[in-house]
Chains A and B, each alone.
Chain A
Amino acid sequence: MQLFTLLMGLALATALWSGVQAINSEARASYGAAAAQVAQGQSDQIVARADESMSVADYIALRRLGWLVTPQIEHRLEMDGETVRLLGIEPLTAPNLPGSFDMQTLPMDQFFSQSGFALVSEDSTKVIEALDWGFEIAPNLAAGTAISDIGSIAMLAERGDTLDRLIVLGNNAQDPAMLEDIAPHLKYLNASSGNDDIARLTDSFHLNLTAFGLLSFAVGLFIVYGAIGLAFEQRRTMFRTLRALGVSLRLLITLLLAELLIFATLAGLFGIMLGYLIAATLLPDVAATLRGLYGAEVAGTLQIRASWWMSGLGMAIGGTLIASIGTFLRLARLPLMEAGTPQAWAQASQKVMIYLGLLGCILLGVAAVLSTLASSLVQGFVLLGCLLIGAAFLLPLTLDRCLALLERITKRALPQWFWSDTRSQVPGLSMALMALLLAIATNVGVSTMVSSFRLTFTGWLDQRLVSELYVTLDTAEQAGDMRRLLADDVTAFLPIVSAKIELGGQPAEVYGVTDHSTYRDHWPLLEAADNVWDRLQEPENALINEQFALRSELAVGDRVEGAQRQTIVGVYSDYGNPAPQMIIGMEAFAMLYPNIEPMRFGLRVAPENIARVSKVLRKDLGLPPDAMVNQARIKALSLGIFEQTFTVTGALNILTLSVAGFSIMMSLLTLAQMRLPQLAPIWALGVTRAQLGRLELIRSVVLAAVVTCLAVPLGLALSWVLLAVVNVAAFGWQLPMFLFPKSYLVLSAIALLAAIIAAAWPAQRLARIAPHQLLQVFSGGR
């Protein structure tokens, strides 16, 4: 039984950890491949300044001046709902492609062929085939990507000789500062200030998953710790006999260590296989979530990567060694002549329980202090650690005190014995109960965070996406025609214009908005001056987004150097956007950027007229269907994405609770044998085996219920830390916290069900135990 507990505990812990790691490493590898595409993202870049463009002539001029740069353009091609990112490169000057494709071995004749040729990712072949181009699959290309000659793509996209960027090669010796003089319309971007939106955004998702994986592993380690401790106590007599017969302590420890390492390796390997299955099951949902939410392409299939299975095995072995330290210390101090009983362990645990309780109080005190001071990611995680470990350490003592109180106020014999006996079992069950506490708290915390995010985000969408229809025109001239054609159906045409600027030294965007009730009534302002919308129409005032305000410690009334020197009159929430952003009045925008004409519009239309307006835009203005976006469709899409996120967190919830349930079951089964000396007299005095079995079941439910009652507030505290501390430190925006009592009730019911299922087998075994097994207790000394 101990062996099974140890192996399964370790295997489950490793499975959850390595499963999550597999998902993370697969997703990260996908972004990595995308970012590393022809060194983009790793190298410095030259791009056009706002309102300017860069052409082939700029490229030639820079090359002639000795700048080692290579041009790139990008074009997105959509077909049957699938989007492929076409990257145009100039192969003679481009650095090597990632993976197996060496530029020296590139089939140049095909690459330059008139009929078109592309290197494609496995999932992009259909779109390229439809172009009637030749292609070759490049296995390490990011999902949804194709690479072709820059000329072919320029022709396909009908974009003349404009370029998107020049990648600066590693051996370029020219001084970036010189660019200002050579080509003032271009700007130099360092790799570090490059566009890493995807990485930052998806880190939010991975952070959740990693936290889940780590907590699941911790839950598993509690099982392993308990199993090793109980196994030691059951073999204590044998160890003493071996020592008495002359086996040295060093030899004994070496043998036990070797035994543990073999078990850890076996369980670790089994856990990695289980983890692979978990990851393979969950990855398609994760991929869909990341693709939809952040536009990050993740292949939906799993590859076996050395990084995660090595980390899984390392965690299994390392975790086992950490969990066994206490046991080896006890073995080293084992007195040769002391008569040992299994209860000795439980009695010793009483002292440990008090020490742990005191340590738990100290850790919770540290957490309380940190909750008011923490401002960095590291401090946020220290706060999380102190909170969770402190609460777990304090749990056994809390339960002990509660049960002592119940014992005191109970007068009837059997209930009084029940409470006192339950109390005496707390040390033996403490590891499993701590695991349950952490599992429930994690579930409450993470689901509160995700649900708060969903509620906030959908509420925010409702505020930001007020216009019923969003239209992108082909030419600025079409705006007049649109206004004329739709004058009767559309109550307002709200232009959406933006320009690239720098805010706080970072690339940013400035938007111009017209003075309209749509903004006055709906725009999500977190902080605002009086008459904010009136004041926004004055050129010297601006709104900024929350992340810029938090990062640069700006508030209403402060002045900021944006499109020009402006006073902040409001701060708005801007979830999902890691970059700084600013909003100014439309008049000010037109004055500052006279060359930018509105091409995108939000149309306020009565819902019943949307179809007619779309038809006019399609037929009379000749706009393609994808130039019109129905607000309802965007919202439905966003909700769909969140449902997928929930699928993943929901599955992990169940897995974590299952591990905790398994932990309880194993502890109960192990304790059942050790508890016969306490149960047999009760049976002999007239309590039936069936009654004892029922009491075992009730005991588990009572303990699980108390743990759940403590876990819910702990989970809410965890959620608060994630939303108000970790999220702000990591991503720059704070999310409001919402409570979901109904889901906590459901979760509590699931936890109780897990406890009932976990206790059912040990309880049934006790209810059906043969009388002679109980009678052996009374003849133990003979």
Chain B
Amino acid sequence: MILNAQDIHKGYETADLRTDVLRGVSLALEAGQSLALMGESGSGKSTLLHLIAGLDVPDRGEIAVDSQVMSHPNDTKRAELRRQLVGIIFQQFNLIPSLRIDSNIAFQAHLAGRYDADWCAKLATRMGLSAHLEKYPEALSGGQQQRVAIARALAAKPALILADEPTGNLDEETAQTVLTLLLEITRETNTALLMVTHSATHASALDQQLTLRSGKIA
């Protein structure tokens, strides 16, 4: 099993209020499988994704990716696991503006110690980015930038791809192209995919669908 999250709880406290965002969420994902996570705004989708990525720690429960505990309290350990096991795709692309496209694609692979120039070149070709490798992100369209983000996530050959509304900032046609590419490559590489989306159409293209409502699986 690539992803195993059990009884996840997470809440945030402000000065006079505590908000429980996740209240006992459990889910699992096998290698090569894809799962669409849906739900209204504020239902806890992104929070769950961030916990799985090890960007934050749950208040309760345990998350394991490829049998490694991602909910480890040590920040350095989580960063190491994130580098090795997870590829993240953000809605706003979040490319590194000071690096060229080829360096952006290779960045996490280098960090993980799994840089493979041929694989990066193949990904760039598949994503239609070969002509843009020496450009900087600001010179690319939104669709192109998101394809760079996908290539960056896949370049390190992670066990799990986490995509947080990857098509949310794109027009329908571009969104469909990007999604198709993402699904094709994750299936080909037997990579698990967990994607947060608002679109039922996009969700239906994935193997499984889950809906979060008020911090629980509906």
Chain A positions near chain B (C-beta within 8 angstroms) = 343, 412-414, 416-417, 420-421, 423-424, 677-678, 680-691, 771-772, 774-775, 777-782
User: In the complex the two chains form, what is the Cα distance from A689 to B54 in whole Å?
Assistant: 13
Query: When the two chains form their complex, are residues A780 and B55 in contact, meaning their CB atoms are under 8 A apart?
Result: no
Binds A, one of B60-68, B80-88, B174-182, B184-192: B80-88
Instruction: Tell me how far the C-beta of B21 lies from the nearest C-beta in chain A, rounded to whole angstroms.
Output: 11
On chain A, the residues within 8 Å of B115 by CB distance are 413
Extra contacts, 13 of them, besides A686-B80, A686-B83, A772-B56 (Cβ < 8 A), are A416-B99, A417-B99, A421-B96, A424-B98, A681-B96, A682-B96, A683-B79, A686-B108, A686-B111, A777-B94, A779-B46, A782-B41, A782-B46
On chain B, the residues within 8 Å of A424 by CB distance are 97-98
User: In the complex the two chains form, what is the Cα distance from A774 to B78 in whole Å?
Assistant: 15
On chain A, the residues within 8 Å of B94 by CB distance are 677, 680-681, 684, 777-778
Interface 1/0s, chain B 100-144, versus A by CB < 8 A? 000100111111100100000000000000000000000000000
Query: When the two chains form their complex, are residues B103 and A416 in contact, meaning their CB atoms are under 8 A apart?
Result: yes
Instruction: List residues 7-62 of chain B with CB under 8 A from any CB of chain A.
Output: 12, 41, 46, 50, 53, 55-56
On chain A, the residues within 8 Å of B98 by CB distance are 417, 420-421, 423-424, 678
Query: When the two chains form their complex, are residues A687 and B111 in contact, meaning their CB atoms are under 8 A apart?
Result: yes
Instruction: Tell me how far the C-beta of B3 lies from the nearest C-beta in chain A, rounded to whole angstroms.
Output: 17
Instruction: Tell me how far the C-beta of B197 lies from the nearest C-beta in chain A, rounded to whole angstroms.
Output: 13
Given contacts A413-B106, A417-B99, contact A684 B55 (CB under 8 A): yes
Q: Is B214 an interface residue (CB 8 A)?
A: no
Query: When the two chains form their complex, are residues A412 and B110 in contact, meaning their CB atoms are under 8 A apart?
Result: yes
Instruction: Tell me how far the C-beta of B35 lies from the nearest C-beta in chain A, rounded to whole angstroms.
Output: 20
Instruction: List residues 125-171 of chain B with CB under 8 A from any CB of chain A.
Output: 152, 164, 168-169
Query: When the two chains form their complex, are residues A681 and B90 in contact, meaning their CB atoms are under 8 A apart?
Result: yes
Instruction: Tell me how far the C-beta of A421 lies from the nearest C-beta in chain B, rounded to whole angstroms.
Output: 5
On chain A, the residues within 8 Å of B168 by CB distance are 781
B90 closest partner in A (C-beta): A778
Query: When the two chains form their complex, are residues A684 and B99 in contact, meaning their CB atoms are under 8 A apart?
Result: no
Between A and B, 8 residue pairs with Cβ closer than 8 Å are A413-B109, A417-B103, A421-B96, A681-B96, A686-B79, A686-B112, A688-B76, A780-B92
Residue from the list A685, A689, A779 in contact with B111, Cβ < 8 A: A685
On chain B, the residues within 8 Å of A775 by CB distance are 50, 55-56
Q: Is B207 an interface residue (CB 8 A)?
A: no
User: In the complex the two chains form, what is the Cα distance from A263 to B132 in whole Å?
Assistant: 49
Residue from the list A681, A774, A777 in contact with B95, Cβ < 8 A: A681
Instruction: Tell me how far the C-beta of A29 lies from the nearest C-beta in chain B, rounded to whole angstroms.
Output: 56
Q: Is B91 an interface residue (CB 8 A)?
A: yes
User: In the complex the two chains form, what is the Cα distance from A771 to B107 in whole Å?
Assistant: 21
Instruction: Tell me how far the C-beta of A374 lies from the nearest C-beta in chain B, rounded to whole angstroms.
Output: 43
Instruction: Tell me how far the C-beta of B157 lies from the nearest C-beta in chain A, rounded to whole angstroms.
Output: 14
User: In the complex the two chains form, what is the Cα distance from A274 to B83 in whole Å?
Assistant: 51
Residue from the list B41, B90, B107 in contact with A417, Cβ < 8 A: B107
A688 closest partner in B (C-beta): B79
Instruction: Tell me how far the C-beta of A682 lies from the nearest C-beta in chain B, rounded to whole angstroms.
Output: 7
Instruction: Tell me how far the C-beta of A433 lies from the nearest C-beta in chain B, rounded to whole angstroms.
Output: 18
User: In the complex the two chains form, what is the Cα distance from A414 to B164 in whole Å?
Assistant: 24
User: In the complex the two chains form, what is the Cα distance from A414 to B107 in whole Å?
Assistant: 8
Query: When the two chains form their complex, are residues A686 and B82 in contact, meaning their CB atoms are under 8 A apart?
Result: yes
Instruction: Tell me how far the C-beta of B136 lies from the nearest C-beta in chain A, rounded to whole angstroms.
Output: 10
On chain B, the residues within 8 Å of A416 by CB distance are 99, 103
Query: When the two chains form their complex, are residues A772 and B12 in contact, meaning their CB atoms are under 8 A apart?
Result: yes
Query: When the two chains form their complex, are residues A684 and B92 in contact, meaning their CB atoms are under 8 A apart?
Result: no
Instruction: Tell me how far the C-beta of B194 lies from the nearest C-beta in chain A, rounded to whole angstroms.
Output: 15
Instruction: Tell me how far the C-beta of B59 lies from the nearest C-beta in chain A, rounded to whole angstroms.
Output: 13
Query: When the two chains form their complex, are residues B88 and A690 in contact, meaning their CB atoms are under 8 A apart?
Result: no
Instruction: Tell me how far the C-beta of A714 lies from the nearest C-beta in chain B, rounded to whole angstroms.
Output: 28
Query: When the two chains form their complex, are residues B55 and A685 in contact, meaning their CB atoms are under 8 A apart?
Result: no
User: In the complex the two chains form, what is the Cα distance from A705 to B129 in whole Å?
Assistant: 39
Query: When the two chains form their complex, are residues B111 and A684 in contact, meaning their CB atoms are under 8 A apart?
Result: no
B107 closest partner in A (C-beta): A413
Instruction: Tell me how far the C-beta of B126 lies from the nearest C-beta in chain A, rounded to whole angstroms.
Output: 21
On chain B, the residues within 8 Å of A684 by CB distance are 53, 55, 82, 88, 90, 94
On chain A, the residues within 8 Å of B103 by CB distance are 413, 416-417, 420
On chain B, the residues within 8 Å of A779 by CB distance are 46
Query: When the two chains form their complex, are residues A690 and B92 in contact, meaning their CB atoms are under 8 A apart?
Result: no
User: In the complex the two chains form, what is the Cα distance from A560 to B18 in whole Å?
Assistant: 96
